[in-house]
Amino acid sequence: MRIFIVSDSIGETGELVAKAALSQFEQVYHKAQIKRFTHIDSLEHIEEIVSLAKLHGALIIYTLVRDDMKQHINLLAEKVNVEIIDLMGPVIKSFEKIIGTQAMQEPGLVRRLDEDYFAKIEAVEFAVKYDDGRDPRGLLQADIVLVGVSRTSKTPLSQYLANKRWKVANVPLVPEVDPPEELFQIDPSKCFGLIINPEKLNSIRRERLKAIGLSDDANYAKIERIQEELKHFDRVVERIGCEVIDVTNRAVEETANIIISKRQEYLRKK
């Protein structure tokens, strides 16, 4: 028994279904010959495949999504008496009826959607792994590096960017701790310093201390301490040579859009 899998993508779905069905026929399962015809994008290809199927007595299973190609292969197969099965058509028609929208008829979308999903998962895992300066080696692998003093939204921003499929690492800057050397080895264009108004940061830190049950007059929230940290921040970002973004009155989404725009612009120019 011969089976031709005809697909405008890679034909994986058709082959899996064919094998699943064949498994119910033990006497032919290991004898059946399955051949994939992938990335079929022209009517001429279809004509050649139907001719081969007629010659070899093959069954055609197809997962084409374009109406013109489906109509063409059905007409040709009927004309030369080749058995043919449309795997996707009935499912798509039912979806169109339920959803009330026409299918896009664009090949290979499921693979692209899957790749997009896994790229997002990988970026989110990366952001978690290299959050808060946990492992400086991540700085060399990151698409974007964020630096800033405590409570400048580095972590929420990292997660937001990760959901846009950017691999992000962030480093907290504290006067008593030397920044990792990797920070000065990266391309400055992928690094962004996050600056904030001292009074605004003072308010944020005081609220944070109260939220965790501590006194809001701790050194962490004192304006003198904040100014010391911001001076240290200035020295570090000047040494890196990176761009600085004021996040004082910006939502995470707004800051992220600025960063994405600048990164995309830089990458286009490369």
User: Cα angle vertex 204, ends 203, 205, to 5°?
Assistant: 95
The encoded tokens of residue 41 equal 């994008």
Question: CB–CB of 256/160 below 8 Å?
Answer: yes
Q: Which amino acid is at 126?
A: F
Question: CB–CB of 238/173 below 8 Å?
Answer: no
155 is in an annotated binding site: yes
152 is in an annotated binding site: yes
d(CA 88, CA 86): 6
Bridge partners, 6 (sequence order): 37, 62
248 is in an annotated binding site: no
Using a 10 angstrom Cβ sphere, with 0-12 exposed, 13-18 middle and 19 or more buried, the burial of residue 24 is exposed
154 is in an annotated binding site: yes
Question: CB–CB of 151/206 below 8 Å?
Answer: no
Bridge partners, 36 (sequence order): 5
38 is in an annotated binding site: no
148 is in an annotated binding site: yes
255 is in an annotated binding site: no
Task: Give the residue from 254, 152, 249, 132 showing the smallest Cα distance to 193.
Answer: 152
SS3 41: coil
The encoded tokens of residue 67 equal 């109406």
Look-up of token digits 């978690």: 128
Residues of the binding site for ADP: 148-155
Binding site listing: 148-155
